[in-house]
Amino acid sequence: MLTLKLLREQPDFVVERLAVKHFDAKEIVEKILQSDKQRRAVQGDLDACLAAQKTIAAKIGAMMKAGDKAAAEEAKAEVAKLKEQSKGYEEALAAAEKEQNDLLVLLPNLPCAQVPEGRTAEDNVVVKQEGAVPDLSESKLPHWELAKKYDIIDFDLGVKLTGAGFPVYKGKGAKLQRALINYFLEYNTAAGYLEVEPPVMVNEASGFGTGQLPDKEGQMYHATVDNYYLVPTAEVPVTNIYRDVILSQKDFPVKMTAYTPCFRREAGSYGKDVRGLNRLHQFDKVEIVQLSLPENSYAALDGMVAHVEGLVRSLGLPYRILRLCGGDMSFTSAITYDFEVFSAAQERWLEVSSVSNFESYQANRLHLRYRDENGKMALAHTLNGSSLALPRIVAALLENNQKAGAIFVPEVLQKYTGFDRID
């Protein structure tokens, strides 16, 4: 979340920048500043009360030693009265802090200066496009028909076992999934990312730390008996490894990668654009996460974008990179680049990765700090990206590589699949 220091010093700037996300922050910022003023007043009263207690208590011993029992008893009564007052101040302070925090979490992260104006995905800026778009004059089967033809993904069986959006991968389809996961992880670890295998359920504090809670409860599967949440992305448990941690400058950069199944309700998603693998409730994804010094985080972002680009390019898929406009960005992001691959049968671009810099927004929620060279405490910056999400990658691989009665597997995957075609 945004820091109180920023809100106190630059309230107009905060309101102005959040307008780029089409978020009207003026009223909330005013309430936060008023709440902060009240909280600091209560804190001042509490500090004065505690100081008075300490001063009087220090004199009681001298009074007793001098034999002035009456004065000592009077002083003890005054301390008891002040203790009762301080209890009231502590309760008022806790209430004021809760009110302030409840307001702070309502504010999204500020978009950085590079974020373009715009309201919808139509306003996103294409910063790069590479690879030949397949010849659309050739008739190609969509991946859901290919999945049935070659018996590699069973959507109906998934409905039987669980429900819509939970496919069953079979035979070479299952091996292709495993091959992609292994390839993505090895590609990431070769670039210096530490592989971790986190839990796929997290507690409420973890959901809050990365900004999924209280913003996205409706999209998350909630195990209510234990109050755990199924992860919507590995970003949540991996970034939370460093919740409440204090690092030193020499610890940076911290680079981690993880594979997890991901669970999202995706409520209200219907129609041809979400058919097959296009939008699922359970899907596989490999994630990369970085923790960075603030002055290095945009260089780290550029490096992560280049890293994901190399991975997509290696699969031989036509792709493009978009810088998201303010209206299409997530609640927590300061800047986001989306990667899309072209679907030959659906004749449209499919998102397969988002790479984002959150600056200090998540770190403030996580209490993720470091000591600078002077020993002063500061908030780290956090970044993450999909490297990659599998469903639409699989969809594009199947659709773009169908030829002569078979689906051909990219060369980089063949040592992981053990086969070069699906037929």
pLDDT at position 73 is 87
Would you list the domain boundaries of the chain? 4-104, 121-422
pLDDT at position 177 is 98
Same fold, 4-104 and 121-422: no
The answer, as to whether pTM is greater than 0.85, is: yes
pLDDT at position 267 is 54
CATH class label, 121-422: alpha beta
Report the CATH architecture of 4-104: Orthogonal Bundle (1.10)
pLDDT digit string (tens) for the chain, length 423 residues: 999 999 999 999 999 999 999 999 999 999 999 999 999 999 999 999 999 998 998 888 788 888 888 888 888 899 899 999 999 999 999 999 999 999 999 999 999 999 999 999 999 999 999 998 877 767 899 999 999 999 999 999 999 999 999 999 999 999 999 999 999 999 999 999 999 999 999 999 999 999 999 877 789 999 999 999 999 999 999 999 999 999 999 999 999 999 999 999 975 455 557 899 999 999 999 999 999 999 999 999 999 999 999 999 999 999 999 999 999 999 999 999 999 999 999 999 999 999 999 999 999 999 999 999 899 999 999 999 999 999 999 999 999 999 989 999 999 999 999 999 999
pLDDT at position 218 is 83
pLDDT at position 215 is 72
Q: How far apart are CA 382 and CA 293, in angstroms?
A: 9
